[in-house]
Structure formats: structure tokens, C-alpha cells
Amino acid sequence: MMEQTALNLIAITVFSMTLSVFLTPVLHISPFISACATLGVLGVVTVDTLSLNNRGVTLLLDVLSPSAVRQRILHHEAGHFLAAYLLGIPIKGYCLTAWEALKQGQEGSGGVQLDTEDLERKLKNFSQFPALLERLSTVWMAGIAAESMVYGKAEGGESDRLELRSALKLAGLSESVYEQKERWSLLQGKTLLEKHSASYEALVKAMNDRASVEECCQIISLNMTAL
């Protein structure tokens, strides 16, 4: 989602700069102004890339994101949150915009933050690793499953796929099984969300209202009891 918006923004910027070259003589604008504007934009992008890890561009894209994209992100992250809760993966926090991520000291546009310290301790235990990997794989693919369930197809989730494949590589699995594991995890995520659809819908509303992690967990529990 955000990746496509970034590509569109870059394309618009390049087109605008190219168009300005042809329009400056017609509009009697000094080429110096056009050149300064171009250098200024390139300079800002360069500083943002080298010094700020693209945070400026990420924030800009976040501001320009339409409501429909924000809703997709909300549904996507709610899928991660619900799957993590149901599978016993500790949740530390969540953020749904780049600005919220910046305030929380998170990279990129944010998402659901898991308790990595607890996970790292469990990963050191070889006997627990396979079961934990299965649970984490389902959590990673649950965002895509949520989007597919609500919108018919997913537009985000590339970073989730990369995270899953990195974990599978770390586990020493062959690349030939990556797609199979991805499909299996996606199916597991979809099954969880469909089984607990009432909890999912309530969680989406709670996250949209920026309820705390504790409040979100309580809402999930209450709606599971109501099933």
C-alpha cells in the first residue's frame, strides 16, 4: 500500500520537474527558479534518505494517504493483533500511522509490536523453536488474511512475507518450501479470523479509537465469551 503510494509520488515529482523545463520559457519563468526548485527537492530527499532513514518521505506519504488506505492499514494490523493474542504472542504496542510510529520511536509506518525479549528467550530453546515459528508465521500472514477477508484481496504485506521468509531461512528450511509455508500460514490466519470474526470487528473499532493494548485484549476476550 505505502510502497505503491511512494512510487506514485516519485513519478509525479519526476513528471512535474520534467514539465517545468518545457513550461518555464512559455510562462516566462527564469530557468534558475526551476533549477533551484529541482535541486532543493533532490537535496531534501537526499538528506532524508541519508540522515533520517526516509522518515520525512514516510511522514509525507502518510499525510497524503487517502482514508481508504488508512482503513486498509487498520484492518491489516488488527489481523496481526488478533492472531498474536489468540496464539499467545505478547503484544507490546501498536501504531497505525507514520506519525504515531515516530512518537513511539518505531521505524517506518509502524504496526503491531510484539514482545521480542520474550520471543528471543524462547527461540534459544531449540525444542520450542518449531512451534513458535508456526505461531509467528500465522501472525505475520494474518494481516494479509485480514485484508483478503475484508476487501477480497490484499494490497499490503510485502514486509510480512519478507519477515516470514527470513525466519524460514534462519530455521534452515529450503527455499522450495517457502511458498508452501506461506500458503499454510495464510490459511491458518484466515481460519482464526473467520472463527473469531466478532472479536475481529470489535478490535478494529477499538484500534480505530486508539484503545490501549490492555483494552484491546479485554475487548477480544469479551467478544469471544459472547460467541
Assess whether 54 and 89 both reside in one domain.
no
Assess whether 50 and 94 both reside in one domain.
no
The residue from 12, 37, 64 where one domain ends is: 64
CB 34 within 8 A of CB 24: yes
| Residue 128 identity (one-letter amino acid) | Q
Best CA proximity match to 98, nearest among 174, 1, 189? 1
Assess whether 159 and 103 both reside in one domain.
yes
Query: Does the predicted TM-score (pTM) go above 0.75?
Result: no
Query: What pLDDT is stored for residue 169 in this prediction?
Result: 86
Q: Is the pLDDT of residue 114 over 60?
A: yes
Assess whether 106 and 150 both reside in one domain.
yes
The residue from 38, 64, 90 where one domain ends is: 64
Residue bearing the bigger pLDDT, 186 or 127: 186
The residue from 35, 64, 93 where one domain ends is: 64
Give the pLDDT confidence of 39-85 residue by residue, as tens digits.
554 444 444 444 444 455 555 555 556 788 889 999 999 999 999 99
Give the pLDDT confidence of 142-198 residue by residue, as tens digits.
999 999 999 999 888 888 999 999 888 887 888 888 999 999 999 999 999 999 999
Assess whether 88 and 53 both reside in one domain.
no
Assess whether 7 and 116 both reside in one domain.
no
Give the pLDDT confidence of 15-50 residue by residue, as tens digits.
555 555 555 555 555 555 555 555 554 444 444 444
Assess whether 10 and 115 both reside in one domain.
no
Please classify residue 163 by burial: count the beta carbons closer than 10 Å to its beta carbon, then call 0-12 exposed, 13-18 middle and 19+ buried.
middle
Q: Kindly report the CATH number assigned to the domain that includes residue 163.
A: 1.20.58.760
The helix/strand/coil state of 91 is: strand
Bridge partners of residue 113, in order along the sequence: 93
Assess whether 212 and 174 both reside in one domain.
yes
Q: Is the pLDDT of residue 201 over 90?
A: yes
Residue bearing the bigger pLDDT, 158 or 218: 218
Assess whether 29 and 106 both reside in one domain.
no
Query: What pLDDT is stored for residue 121 in this prediction?
Result: 72
Q: Which three cell numbers stand for residue 195?
A: 472463527
- Tell whether the torsion through CA atoms of 158, 163, 167 and 169 is positive or negative: positive
Query: What pLDDT is stored for residue 41 in this prediction?
Result: 47
Assess whether 168 and 213 both reside in one domain.
yes
Domain region containing 202 = 67-225
Assess whether 78 and 57 both reside in one domain.
no
DSSP codes joined into one string, 4-32: HHHHHHHHHHHHHHHHHHHHHHHTT--HH
Query: What pLDDT is stored for residue 3 in this prediction?
Result: 46
The helix/strand/coil state of 115 is: coil
Assess whether 101 and 200 both reside in one domain.
yes
Domain count across the chain: 2
